[in-house]
Amino acid sequence: MQKKKVLIVDDSVTMRQQIDLTLTKEGFELIEACDGEDGIKKLKEVENIKLVFLDVNMPKMDGLEMLEEIQRKGIFTDVPFIMLTTEIDKRKIQRAKTAGAKGWIIKPFEPYQIIDVANKFTQD
């Protein structure tokens, strides 16, 4: 069976490694990107990405800008995006929802939260 591909977009190497390790152990294939621009590039390059974990605060293009760019272009409409952030800012949450985000995970989180979300959003 082919592994399900999950993209993690975060400027923190530690955060990417943490999610990568957690989900690799669960049988997922992880792809990493370091900012919004890189995230869009990876979505275009790598076929069949099932789910994206997306950090809000990043240099160059942040998570909200990436989401809005994707929405504006009408691309990757079937891919669920889960936001990752340290802050609970209602305006940002609303902005993300408007741009199509499917969920919101507050850092720091427990591994099971990531696993639960990954399983839930990659079911066929």
Query: What is the contact surface with Mg ion in residues (CB under 5 A)?
Result: 11, 55, 57-58
According to DSSP, residue 48 is labeled: T
* Number of residue whose CB is nearest Mg ion: 57
* CB nearer Mg ion, residue 55 or residue 68: 55
CB 84 within 8 A of CB 54: yes
DSSP SS3 for 18: helix
* CB nearer Mg ion, residue 97 or residue 107: 107
**Please, what is the minimum distance in Å from the beta carbon of residue 119 to Mg ion?**
25
* CB nearer Mg ion, residue 74 or residue 108: 108
